[in-house]
Every structure is written in structure tokens, then in C-alpha cells.
Chain A
Amino acid sequence: MKSPKNISIQKKLLKFILMISGIILFVTCIAFSVCEYYTFRSTTLLNLSTIGKVIAANSTAALAFDNNLDAEEILTALKAESHVIAACLYDKDGNLFSQYTSGSSVHPFPEKPEEDGYRFEHFYVIGFEPVILGNNRLGTLYMKSDLKAMFARFKIWGIILISVLLGGFALAYFLSGILQKSISRPILALAETVKEISNVMDYSMRAKRSDNDELGLLTTAFNQMLTQIQEQNLEIKSFNHMLEQKVIERTLELTDSLEREQEMNEMKSRFVSMASHEFRTPLTAILSSISLIEMYGTDQEDVKKGKQIERIKSSVKNLTHILNDFLSLEKMEHGKVEIENEKFDLNEFSKDIIEELKGMLKQGQSINFSGGGVMDLFQDKTILKNVLLNLLSNAIKYSEVDKEINLLASVSNNLVSIIVRDQGIGIPAGEQKNMFGKFFRAKNVSHIEGTGLGLNIVKKYIELLDGTICFESKHKQGTSFTVEFPQNSKYENNIAY
């Protein structure tokens, strides 16, 4: 059996309605029954006493004249009253004077008349009525009546009662079945919606509103709650999305800064090893030259001293060159380079640079220039000179004796293209991608002096000219750098970076 908590609201409502209507019907019936019982009782007593008074009044003559026959006749008139089953008359001394019994039933009469009045005794009503003439009491009338009439009435009454109970109950059941639906239907609909929402987790669903009563309000409130949940869900989702985005961003930032830091560390260690070697070599030369000058004494030839002084100068120049590289880099990285454009001819310009580099050439090396007609540029001469000096001195440095170096210059569609090609040691394929990195030096040049800054500076210079640089190289066969930039700078003049 289901406990009341598990019964559906429909059944609960039905049960309550039936219970209440049943109780009300029952209480009403009981009240009516009690009322009817007492009414009938008093009516019965009144009836009997009325009959008694009539019979007593009629019996005065018979008692006064001691006429038994008359008395019997009078009593026999009671036949008309079927519920009176026995009656008798006592004389004034209380002796039985005359008697009457209905049908064949035998009823003992009281020996002496009792107290006047009517009363219920067991299932009968009995009564003693004085027979009075004037002021004299002639005798007493005794009557006994059964309650068959009352019971018959009660029987009918009972049938009506049960019919009313059953009919009322059936009506209540029928009506409540209809009426409770107006309450249970919206609740059930709401419950169904709730169930579906929690199953599918779809907060865009809405419960259907039926009436404008409290249930309608509940439905509206529920729908509002759903809207709020939906909005909150959206908010949570967008917040989550934002958080995820933030996490990704932060991770990227961290990875970036970590990479930057690693790069910086790597650069630092590259710088230390570069500085260690690049500074120590000219310093060693200088110190050894000074030691020699010390040892020469005063009688030594000036030629020897002069040679050592030249060596010191050259080493100092070397150190200055390294420092200048640092300074250029520093300037460019902090945007302090000023562009000073001017008009010049690339042919002449290239030849001057080649002339300047002659002192650096190894035995048998030569730089061959091939240009094309008049090539008037409007560009920063100093920057371009630095670029070409750098590329050409690299070509010299990383080529063996007797190797040829080519410098090719051309202009087409306002684009200047300069190629520096050598037949030198080349760049190992695996290291080519790092060539423009700061302090980077390929493994095959570890014994050759160099800071690892030249190409980094060249690339930055070329970018200042709005140009590009690229190279092709084969290990042990040679390298070819190609520089391209606009013939006429887009900057008017003197623009600081």
C-alpha cells in the first residue's frame, strides 16, 4: 500500500474531498436522526395521552355506574388504534375493573395502578390516566402501546439516510473528480515540465500557464526562474569562456616571456663567450707587443718598435670595431638611428668601398664589381656603406686565398638589388636559420675571429632602409647574400627611429 506521501496529488485531493463530504453527510444524518428520534418520542407520548384522555372521559359514566359492559365497549374502541396493544380500567380502589387486549397477545396488567403519567418502558410506552368526574376520582386508565410505528418510521428514515449518504458520496466523488482537475492539472503540467527540464537540461523550455490563480502565479514565477537560470547559465558560460581565454592568453604570455628569458640567457652566454675570445685576442696581441717594446731596450732599432706600435694600433682598431658594433646595435635597438638621405651613384659608391677594403684582402683574393649603367639612389649612404662593408669583409674573412668575390648591383622598377657572392667556406645547412641572430656564430667559424653581430646589424640596417636581405649558401662552396631596397627612400630626411 502506498503511504500518503507517495500518493499522487490527484488521488490526495479526491481522498480529502470525499473524506470531508463523507464526514459532513454523516454528522448531518446523525443530527437529523437524533432530532427525529426525540420528536417521534414526544409525538408518541402526546398521541397516547390524547387517546387516554378521550377514553378516560368516555369511561366516567361506566365507572360511576359500575357498568362493566359499557367500560369494555369503550375500551374496545381502541381497536382503531392498532399500536395500543393493551388497556384496562381500575376502579377508585385500584381493583381491575375492565380490560382490553388487541389480537391474541397476552399481556399481564399491573395489579395496582401506578403513578399518573406516560413513560417509555423497554420497547413499549405505558401510561396511567386518571378518570375524573368533577372533583371526584373515579378510577384509573392503563394503556400499553408498542413502538412498531416508530420502528417502521425509523426503517424508512434509515433507508433515506443511507440513500442520501451514498448519493451524496457519489455526487461528491463525481464533482470532485471534475473540480480537482482544475487544481491538479496545472500542477501536474508544471511537474511534467520540471521533470523534462531536469532530464534534458534545456532551460529554454517554459511551463504553460493555465489560469490567473496562485498556480498561474507559481507557473509564471517558475518560468521567470527558468529565464534567470538561463541568463545565469549564459553568464557562467561566457565567464568560463573568458576565463579559458584568459588562461590561454596568460599561458602564451608566460611561454613568450619564458622564451624571451631563455633567449636572453642564451644571448648572454653567447656574449660572454664571444667577448671572452674577441676581447682577449687583441688584448693578448697588445700586451705581447708592449712586453716586446719593454724588452727591446734603448739600443733596439726603431723599425721593430714601429712594427709593434702598428700592431697595438691595429688591435686597438679591432677592439674599437667591436665596440662600434655594440654601439650600433644599442642605437638601433633603442631607435636612435637617424636617417640622412642623399643622392649618389651606386657605381661610384661601390667602387669606393672596394677600394677601401683592398687592405683586408688575402693573397690572391679580388672583388669584382659589375653594375648596370647609371644608378642614382636617394638613400642613407652611411647605412648602405656599413651594410656593404660588413657583407664584403665577411666574404673576405670566410674565403680562402685566391678566391674571387663578386659584387653585383642592379636597379629595376625602383628596386635596388645588390648581391655579394663568395666562394668561401659556406654556412652549414643546419645553422642557416640562425644566421641573423645576435651573437650567433656558425660552428665552422669558431676559430675565426668575429663577434656574431655583423649580420644582425646588417639585417637591422636593411630594415631601416625598408629593404630585405636573404642568402643562399652551400657548405664549403660559397655564400651569396642578396640585399633589396627601394631606389628612393620614402622618408624625406632626418627621420629618427
Chain B
Amino acid sequence: MKTILLIEDNLSIRENTCELLELEGYKVICASNGKTGLQLAKKELPDIILSDVAMPMMNGHELFAALKKDSSTRDIPFVLLTSSVEKKEIQAALEKGVNGFIGKPFEKDVLFQKISFLLLENNS
């Protein structure tokens, strides 16, 4: 069973997304901010990380940079859940190596497809 680390500060979105992914058959670990998310990522070494951008303590971009610094977490696929529609911001993050973007609000199928695609790509 693949493990997903979900980092999101909004309680409803966090719980709902977590439940959706569990129903799809994944093991989900949740964190409410970037800092906890980083600790959990190092500890649990999930197969994929989904993260919100605007969060207290450490935002999505900072978290990604921190993950890239650590050899154990460097290769974990990283997807940003973002409210931003700024193309520049998306472009800049993709150039830094973020594996994917999912714009809010998102359809569950888009979320599932993105995750299964990235997991498959990472395995091969």
C-alpha cells in the first residue's frame, strides 16, 4: 500500500482529502503545517507528498526546498495544492523541480490521476 503525506492547514480540506485518498486505497498521513510535514516526511518517508502553499510556520515552497536538501526525502514526488492561478508562480516552482500542481478547488478524479501517474513514473 502506497503512503501519501498530506499537508494542509484548513481542517475541512485536510480531513476530506485524507478521507478521499483513504477511500481510494492509500495510506494517508496528515500534517497541518509545513514544519510538522517536514518532520513526518523524514520519519515516514512517504511515496508521495501533497502540500498546500499558504500555511503557518512553513509554507509549501519552503517545505519543498527543505525536502530537497535532505537526501532521504529528495526523490519523493512533490505536488502542490494551490489557490494561486499565477502562471509565473507555477512556472517558477516547476523549474525548481516540483513534480505537479493541483489547482483548488479540485475534482477527486484529477487528484487520483495525478497521484497514480506520479507514483507509476517514480517506480519505473
User: Is B truly associated with A?
Assistant: yes
Question: Could you tell me which A residues sit within 8 Å of B by CB distance?
Answer: 273, 276-277, 280-281, 283-289, 291-292, 294-295, 308, 311, 314-315, 446-449
Residues of chain A within 8 A of B106, CB atoms compared: 284, 287
CB < 8 Å neighbour of B56 from A285, A314, A447? A447
B91 at the interface (CB under 8 A from A): no
Residues of chain A within 8 A of B1, CB atoms compared: none
Q: Is the CB of A289 within 8 A of B56?
A: no
A311 and B85 alpha carbons, distance in the complex (Å)? 25
Q: Is the CB of A314 within 8 A of B12?
A: yes
Q: Is the CB of B12 within 8 A of A292?
A: no
A285 and B106 alpha carbons, distance in the complex (Å)? 10
Residue pairs across A and B with Cβ atoms less than 8 A apart, 10 shown, are A276-B83, A284-B105, A285-B10, A288-B12, A288-B108, A291-B16, A291-B20, A291-B107, A291-B108, A315-B12
Nearest CB in chain B to that of A294: its residue: B108
A285 and B19 alpha carbons, distance in the complex (Å)? 12
Nearest CB in chain B to that of A308: its residue: B16
Supposing A292-B16, A315-B12, A446-B54 touch, asked if A277 and B108 sit within 8 A by C-beta, the answer is no
Supposing A280-B104, A291-B108, A447-B59 touch, asked if A285 and B16 sit within 8 A by C-beta, the answer is yes
Residues of chain B within 8 A of A276, CB atoms compared: 83-85
Q: Is the CB of B84 within 8 A of A447?
A: no
Q: Is the CB of B10 within 8 A of A281?
A: yes
A276 and B85 alpha carbons, distance in the complex (Å)? 8
Q: Is the CB of B83 within 8 A of A289?
A: no
Residues of chain A within 8 A of B16, CB atoms compared: 285, 288-289, 291-292, 308, 311
Residues of chain B within 8 A of A292, CB atoms compared: 16, 19-20, 23
Q: Is the CB of B83 within 8 A of A277?
A: yes
A289 and B107 alpha carbons, distance in the complex (Å)? 11
B13 at the interface (CB under 8 A from A): yes
A103 and B69 alpha carbons, distance in the complex (Å)? 163
A-B residue pairs, 5 tightest by C-beta:
A288-B16, A284-B105, A291-B108, A285-B12, A280-B83
A401 and B13 alpha carbons, distance in the complex (Å)? 21
B36 CB to closest chain A CB, in angstroms? 14
Residues of chain A within 8 A of B104, CB atoms compared: 280-281, 283-284
Q: Is the CB of B56 within 8 A of A448?
A: yes
B27 CB to closest chain A CB, in angstroms? 17
Q: Which size class do B's interface residues fall under? A: 20 to 34
Nearest CB in chain A to that of B12: its residue: A285
CB < 8 Å neighbour of A289 from B9, B10, B12, B23? B12
A153 CB to closest chain B CB, in angstroms? 129
Residues of chain B within 8 A of A277, CB atoms compared: 54, 83-84
A17 CB to closest chain B CB, in angstroms? 98
Nearest CB in chain B to that of A304: its residue: B19
Residues of chain B within 8 A of A285, CB atoms compared: 10, 12-13, 16
A127 and B14 alpha carbons, distance in the complex (Å)? 167
A447 and B20 alpha carbons, distance in the complex (Å)? 24
Nearest CB in chain A to that of B55: its residue: A447
Nearest CB in chain A to that of B17: its residue: A288
A449 and B85 alpha carbons, distance in the complex (Å)? 17
Residues of chain B within 8 A of A294, CB atoms compared: 108
- Among A276, A288, A292, the one with the most B-chain Cβ atoms within 10 Å of its Cβ is A288
Residues of chain A within 8 A of B10, CB atoms compared: 281, 284-285, 449
A295 and B24 alpha carbons, distance in the complex (Å)? 9
B113 CB to closest chain A CB, in angstroms? 14
A222 and B107 alpha carbons, distance in the complex (Å)? 94
Identify 12 new A-B residue pairs, CB closer than 8 A, beyond the known A285-B13, A291-B108, A292-B23.
Answer: A277-B83, A281-B83, A284-B10, A285-B12, A285-B16, A291-B107, A295-B108, A308-B16, A447-B9, A447-B54, A447-B56, A449-B10
A282 CB to closest chain B CB, in angstroms? 8
A441 CB to closest chain B CB, in angstroms? 11
Q: Is the CB of A295 within 8 A of B55?
A: no
CB < 8 Å neighbour of A286 from B9, B54, B84, B105? B105
A288 and B108 alpha carbons, distance in the complex (Å)? 7
Q: Is the CB of B105 within 8 A of A283?
A: yes
Residues of chain A within 8 A of B84, CB atoms compared: 273, 276-277
- Among B56, B83, B84, the one with the most A-chain Cβ atoms within 10 Å of its Cβ is B83
Q: Mark B2-31, 1 if CB is under 8 A from A, else 0.
A: 000000011011001101100100000000
A447 and B85 alpha carbons, distance in the complex (Å)? 17
A447 and B84 alpha carbons, distance in the complex (Å)? 13
B114 CB to closest chain A CB, in angstroms? 15
Q: Mark B92-116, 1 if CB is under 8 A from A, else 0.
A: 0000000000001111100000000
Residues of chain B within 8 A of A284, CB atoms compared: 10, 13, 83, 104-106
A284 CB to closest chain B CB, in angstroms? 4
A281 and B12 alpha carbons, distance in the complex (Å)? 10
Residues of chain A within 8 A of B17, CB atoms compared: 288
Residues of chain A within 8 A of B59, CB atoms compared: 447
Residues of chain B within 8 A of A314, CB atoms compared: 12
B16 CB to closest chain A CB, in angstroms? 4
A447 and B83 alpha carbons, distance in the complex (Å)? 12
B83 CB to closest chain A CB, in angstroms? 4
